[in-house]
Amino acid sequence: MWGSHILIIPVLQQGATSVNGYLPAGRWWTWNTTSLLNSRGETFNFKTEIDEINIFVREAAIIPSSDKVMITKELQDSNFNLLITLDEHSEANGELFWDDGDLADSQQKGKYNLMQFKVQQNTLIANPMQLGYKIEKYVSSITNCGVKAKPKEVYVNQETISFDFNDVSMFRSTAE
């Protein structure tokens, strides 16, 4: 486990095409495909491609990420993505810590940003807890897993946006 919501099941044998991994009880989504797995606390056999890592996200999480980059410095120019995995009450929580990546004591100096995210009553709320690092970054895409019914409309800052929906997740992306 990495934190309380991310589980990584690595392939440890060269040439393996599958791996056995234990998922604690609950609803889990695969990181790459957002497929849903319901576990009673059991071991599964996962087919594995040579260029993929088996990453699973537990329900009730909001996980920030960025686009793939080759070097850390490129993260400064990359916007954020959010992966949301709703629980049975359609709620989720998460945080994002962001600093310049160079300053060793950014927390002590207050030169960082901390955002708390919450989904409640079909609404994603971003609450800035600390805004000490000045940089313009945006959420450029949201993948919302566990939506129970197709929304009629999706709004960002009171503006309707386009979105795609399937029976497991709702995905939308915005123009940058």
Query: Per-residue pLDDT tens for 9-26?
Result: 999 888 999 999 999 999
Its pTM stands at 0.90
Q: 100-154 pLDDT, tens per residue?
A: 888 899 999 999 999 999 999 999 999 999 999 988 888 888 999 999 888 888 8
Domain with CATH 2.60.40.1180 in the chain: 6-58, 61-161
pLDDT tens figures, 29-88: 999 888 999 999 999 999 998 888 999 999 999 999 998 887 877 888 888 999 999 999
Architecture in CATH for domain 61-161:
Sandwich (2.60)
Distances (CA, A) of 107 to 58, 103, 131: 28, 9, 11
Q: How far apart are CA 146 and CA 59, in angstroms?
A: 8
Residue 106 phi, psi dihedral angles, 5° rounding: -60, -35
* CATH number for the domain whose boundaries are 6-58: 2.60.40.1180
